[in-house]
Amino acid sequence: MPALKLFGRKWLTATDDLVYPGLFEIFIRIIWFVLIGVACLRYYAETWKCQLGGDLVRVFLVGEMTILGIITILIVFIVNHSARGSITDTYARRYVQPLLTVKVLLIPPEIVWNILGTLWLFSDGVHCSSEYYTIGVVEALVLFDWVLIGLTILGLALIFDPLGSLGLQDNELEDSVEHGKVSRIWLRRFKFFWWMRRDESANETFQHVAGFLSALFRGTDLVPSDVMAGCVLLRVRQKRETLELKRLNILERPKYSTVGINIFAEAPSWMSLDWAHHYIQLSIASYGWLFVIYRHACTGCFRLVREMTCCACLRRKRNIILDDNCCLCSLSGVKTLSKLSEDDILFASFRNHLCEIPFCVLADHKTSSIVIVIRGSLSLRDLITDIAAASDFFEPEGLPPGSMAHRGMIVGAKVLLKQLDQYKVLDNAFKIYPHYNLTLTGHSLGAGLAVLLGTLIRPRYPNLRVYAFSTPAGLLSREAARVTEEFVLSIGLGDDLVMRLSVDSMENFRTSLLITLQACRLPKYRVVLNGFGYVLFGVPDRDLNRTWRNGNTINSIPGQLPLLSETSFIRQTETTILEKDVTRRRYSKVRLYTAGRILHIARCKSASKEKKRFSRLRIYTYEYNQRAYINIKLAYFRKQSNKEKKFEMRWAHPEEFMELSVMPRMLLDHLPENVEEALATLVQQQQDLPFIL
């Protein structure tokens, strides 16, 4: 940070990003230099005995060693200078750009030299006796040198930034005209994907997404490695602040419980762990054959074959199945995961376009419900739907006037409703099962669509229920979210990223990221190296228990510069961030929240609560006799030792999921199989509860 400027353009890398790639390239080139040196020592003298072209081989070997040696020495200097200074101290790395320019300019001579070597060795211009000289050795040298050149060109392609060709200054990016230029470039990048061009409403969606990404990143001058380093720094900072607040008794952990009777005492009867566990399994089934292969890499194909229908495109279909292949692979995945028969799948659309998500309509005899199951994000089109996160008016019957919702999901919910009405899916389903209820469920993107679709059709089916798992945070305005608490149960696990992901939280996260990077006093390569250590071993105490100067400084390593410096924080923030107006710039004017009544599931943090539970257990059983207490306690410990995880739960408010925090399990807690495992464990705990108490 800022981005590297080379040949009059910006690139997706910074001057301090060349340490680890440079070390890797030095390692490869030194090995290659040694191998060429061995080849020269062994075969150089024999080239004088070649019948034809011996001088060409000698020129190639000497020239190749010379070029390789110069490039290796140059990379050593680049790595040395790239490792200097903090993340924002570009002056300490002022020589990286000219050194890198020289290295890039050496690529054409290296290519030309290797082309000449290829022509000499693979043509009739060289004839050497195989008794004294092996031409295959030099051929291998030329071939591997092409590999090195290819890796160099691939590296340049990876850091190429189409937006860097604008040649704009930072202050120009604040202008609305330049913002429009950046938005149009994002729009062209989206339209580059040919499979999206035929989607309905693609241009409008792309324009909204391009505007959002342009507003979010313009003027920040961040590169991908800055985001990664910033996440490491934010993780350390947030954990340190949390520990400090707990030490001062300012922050208390919310009260969770493992007793479902207490949690669901005042909730409607349909809000239960058993039903939630049942519907998360149906939500997982909507992911189809890909999820089967993902969970059963070795046996997934055999599981799917049993449910496939050969030449289904030539057969008469009992139910409506849209956009599946001739063997109905997607449908077989749904049947495999849901354990339902094909007769119970009343309708299935696997059509995946922009803002058009696959879904199924099932007859669930276990709960006597017609279930609309909507799939979560599984493709690039779904990701674009997620990113189209600006707020738009959403005022169906039952919501207060002026209600707002996620723009991309509004479009997706209306497309789903259009398909249901076009094929009269629900009307036909309730003709067959007139006494069944209507239930909607989904995970992630599917959860958001289920909430909005349920809101749209609730006037027709006032008793419908929605089970939403890992619902996105930026879904509905606050008053509209309160209305959905009557018919929506949202369930989230632990540190789920998506439950805290909204336009507002992303903008706040961007500002925190910039401030933290500006305050960092360590070089980026050390921050990244510490981050890998944190992933493997957690954040050590020595990085948390350092003195904070003026309450805002962490010393990362004893004897080294502080990780965060208060002086740098004030200076850099005021002169850089506030001047760019990053903190005051907002893309969305309305804050959106998670819908429904939110049940938050968390892992038990320590064994302290077990001690408290046993203290209650002693009170309950001591009056009986001491021997009974000991037997129950031993049996309880034996039972708990067979469990790998243990969970607890509580009712949460949408306001608690407005901040985007960097946590170790923020991605894992979003996966549907982990949510299903947590619910299954909680259900088992409720069954064991009479034994425990």
High-pLDDT (> 90) share of the chain, %: 39
189 and 155 in a common domain: no
Q: Which two tokens stand for residue 102?
A: 């020289």
Between CA 481 and CA 55 the distance in angstroms is 81
Which of 116-125, 166-175, 194-203, 276-285 is modeled with the greatest confidence?
276-285
Got the DSSP string for 608-660?
HHHHHHHHHHHHHHHTT-HHHHHHHHHHHHHHHHT-S--EEEEEE-GGGG-S-
Q: What is the dihedral of CA 92, 94, 95, 97, to 10 degrees?
A: 130
| Range 356-368 average pLDDT | 95
207 and 63 in a common domain: no
34 and 90 in a common domain: yes
Range of the domain at 200: 165-217
**Cβ contact 346:420 at 8 Å:** no
391 and 279 in a common domain: yes
| Range 406-417 average pLDDT | 94
| Range 505-526 average pLDDT | 86
Convert the pLDDT of each residue in 618-668 to its tens digit.
434 344 444 444 454 444 444 444 444 589 999 999 999 988 888 889 999
Mean pLDDT lowest for which of 48-57, 137-146, 590-599?
48-57
DSSP assignment letter at 575: I
| Range 319-348 average pLDDT | 90
> How many CA atoms, within 13 angstroms, populate the side-chain half-sphere of residue 319?
20
206 and 169 in a common domain: yes
| Phi, psi for 44 (deg, rounded to 5) | -60, -45
Please identify, among 143, 160, 177, the residue that sits at the C-terminal boundary of a domain.
Answer: 160
Mean pLDDT lowest for which of 195-209, 301-315, 392-406, 538-552?
538-552
Q: Which two tokens stand for residue 54?
A: 């011996």
Residue 193 to residues 183, 201, 321, 493, 497: CA-CA distances in angstroms?
17, 15, 27, 34, 27
Is residue 552 included in any domain, yes or no? yes
| Residue whose entry in the numeric block shows the structure tokens 């049940």 | 599
Residue 374 has pLDDT above 80, yes or no: yes
pLDDT classification of 28: cutoffs 50, 70, 90: confident
Sequence-distant (6+) residues with CB within 8 A of 216 are 506, 507, 510, 587
571 and 430 in a common domain: no
Q: Which two tokens stand for residue 53?
A: 């072209």
Angle, alpha carbons 161-163-15 (nearest 5°): 50
Mean pLDDT lowest for which of 171-180, 264-273, 291-300, 517-526?
171-180
Sequence-distant (6+) residues with CB within 8 A of 635 are 691
Q: What is the dihedral of CA 563, 565, 569, 575, to 10 degrees?
A: -100
| Range 346-372 average pLDDT | 94
Is residue 668 included in any domain, yes or no? no
Which of 188-197, 225-234, 237-246, 443-452 is modeled with the greatest confidence?
443-452
For residues 412 and 532, the model is more confident at 412
**Cβ contact 439:270 at 8 Å:** no
**Cβ contact 631:637 at 8 Å:** no
| Range 456-460 average pLDDT | 96
Q: Reduced to 3 states, what is the DSSP secondary structure of residue 271?
A: coil
Is residue 680 included in any domain, yes or no? no
Is residue 327 included in any domain, yes or no? yes
**Cβ contact 272:264 at 8 Å:** yes
CATH of residue 361's domain is 3.40.50.1820
| Residues across the chain | 693
Between CA 493 and CA 21 the distance in angstroms is 37
| Range 539-543 average pLDDT | 72
User: Based on the structure, what is the number of domains in the chain?
Assistant: 4
DSSP assignment letter at 133: -
479 and 343 in a common domain: yes
**pTM higher than the cut 0.85:** no
**Cβ contact 32:68 at 8 Å:** yes
Residue 354 has pLDDT above 90, yes or no: no
151 and 31 in a common domain: yes
Give the pLDDT confidence score for residue 506 in this predicted structure. 87
Between CA 679 and CA 282 the distance in angstroms is 13
| Phi, psi for 320 (deg, rounded to 5) | -80, 120
Between CA 656 and CA 263 the distance in angstroms is 18
100 and 55 in a common domain: yes
398 and 492 in a common domain: yes
Convert the pLDDT of each residue in 56-85 to its tens digit.
777 777 888 888 899 999 999 999 999 998
Convert the pLDDT of each residue in 426-442 to its tens digit.
999 999 999 999 999 99
Got the DSSP string for 68-88?
HHHHHHHHHHHHHHHTSS-TT
Between CA 186 and CA 214 the distance in angstroms is 8
Please identify, among 531, 555, 580, the residue that sits at the C-terminal boundary of a domain.
Answer: 580
Is residue 586 included in any domain, yes or no? no
307 and 430 in a common domain: yes
Q: Which two tokens stand for residue 425?
A: 């899916």
Between CA 10 and CA 221 the distance in angstroms is 9
Please identify, among 485, 501, 517, the residue that sits at the C-terminal boundary of a domain.
Answer: 501
Give me the residues paired with residue 372 across strands.
361, 440
Mean pLDDT lowest for which of 169-173, 439-443, 448-452, 503-507?
169-173
pLDDT classification of 570: cutoffs 50, 70, 90: very low
Mean pLDDT lowest for which of 109-113, 311-315, 395-399, 464-468?
311-315
**Cβ contact 666:495 at 8 Å:** yes
Q: Quick count: other Cβ atoms within 10 Å of Cβ 651?
A: 14
For residues 141 and 66, the model is more confident at 66
How much is the mean pLDDT over the chain? 80
Is residue 108 included in any domain, yes or no? yes
**Cβ contact 490:441 at 8 Å:** no
| Range 573-582 average pLDDT | 42
Mean pLDDT lowest for which of 155-159, 540-544, 688-692?
688-692
Is residue 152 included in any domain, yes or no? yes
Between CA 622 and CA 629 the distance in angstroms is 7
Give the pLDDT confidence score for residue 585 in this predicted structure. 52
Strands 647-652 and 597-603: antiparallel
Mean pLDDT lowest for which of 201-215, 478-492, 670-684?
201-215
- The amino acid occupying position 500 is R
90 and 101 in a common domain: yes
Is residue 681 included in any domain, yes or no? no
Q: Where are the alpha helices (DSSP H) in 192-259?
A: 202-217, 224-247
- For residue 14, which of 128, 76, 120, 93 has the smallest C-alpha distance? 93
Convert the pLDDT of each residue in 146-203 to its tens digit.
888 888 888 888 887 766 654 444 444 444 555 566 666 666 666 655 444 455 556 6
Between CA 403 and CA 451 the distance in angstroms is 14
